[in-house]
Amino acid sequence: MTAPAITSSPAVLPPDMDKIAMGWLHTAKFLTTAPELHHLPALDVPEIAFVGRSNAGKSTCINTLTQQHRLAFASKTPGRTQSINLFSLGKQGITDAVLADLPGYGYAAVPKAAKYRWQQVMANYLQTRRNLTGIVLLCDPRLGLTELDEILLDVVRPRVVEGLKFLVLLTKSDKLNKTEAAKVLSIVRLQAGGGDVKLFSALKRKGVDEVAKHLWHWAHPEGLEAAMPPTAQPALATSQSEAADPQA
């Protein structure tokens, strides 16, 4: 079973894009929590959802990207967090994107009724959330994409075909040696239908800057100049003009 092919490579960005993207993610603030879909606010800004099995390192990934230790709450009992948590992003008090932390799935100790209810809630969210722009699927590379992960891929397949961004992060990659990492990266790329797959380690900060730029680009498809405050745009335009003309 393979996911649809995805072609969502970020555009060429300026050398200091690492700082811009990480600074943007650092603005993340708790927005709201929703135990059901109808509790979610209607938003017009891009929304990026983080999904994955319990213990895949989802909360750690979000906290590492936003440089905030306790923004995303990691329950001591996997599978207990059963709400969609939203975090706003944007400088100067203006929200230009939202991160959505979805409950982890697949933990054996969670009652079947609760599992089924959240499977339905998550499926409905992924299929119908109007402003959903991208999905980050977190996966433990030692397990690879499981049956539940592939079910999720099937759920979002129609929206990915329509242009929904998709990225698989192989978390905890520091636990693999180079040979193991290369092997699992190759396998998951095939399973993901040629989509974007990246190694990620919060402990070693592997892939952090790259993923930050990826998410920034998803939320700002219009480009860097349109995302900058008006006072900064002339300087940016001058810089781009000089880059185009080596003699400037």
* pTM beyond 0.85: no
**Burial label, 129 (beta-carbon count in 10 A; 0-12, 13-18, 19+):** middle
What is the Cα Rg of the chain in Å? 18
The CATH architecture assigned to 17-240 reads 3-Layer(aba) Sandwich (3.40)
Q: Closest Cα partner for 59 from 79, 41, 42, 88?
A: 79
Count other Cβ atoms within 10 Å, centred on residue 161. 11
Q: How far apart are CA 163 and CA 5, in angstroms?
A: 11
Determine the Cα–Cα distance for residues 209 and 197; give it in Å rounded to an integer: 15
Per-residue pLDDT of the chain (248 residues; tens, 9 = 90+): 454 444 444 445 566 899 999 999 999 999 999 988 899 999 999 999 999 988 888 999 999 999 998 898 765 545 446 789 999 999 988 999 999 999 888 765 666 676 677 778 888 999 999 999 999 999 999 988 988 888 888 889 899 989 999 999 999 999 999 999 999 999 999 888 757 999 999 999 999 999 999 999 999 988 765 556 544 444 333 334 433 444 43
Residue from 238, 172, 231 nearest 201 by CA: 172
> Which pLDDT tens digit goes with each residue over 11-37?
455 668 999 999 999 999 999 999 888
Return the domain boundaries, the chain.
17-240
**Separation of first and last alpha carbons in the chain:** 53
Q: pLDDT tens digit string along 97-127?
A: 999 999 888 765 666 676 677 778 888 999 9
- Quick one: residue 61, left, alpha or beta (phi over 0 = left, psi -120 to 50 = alpha)? alpha
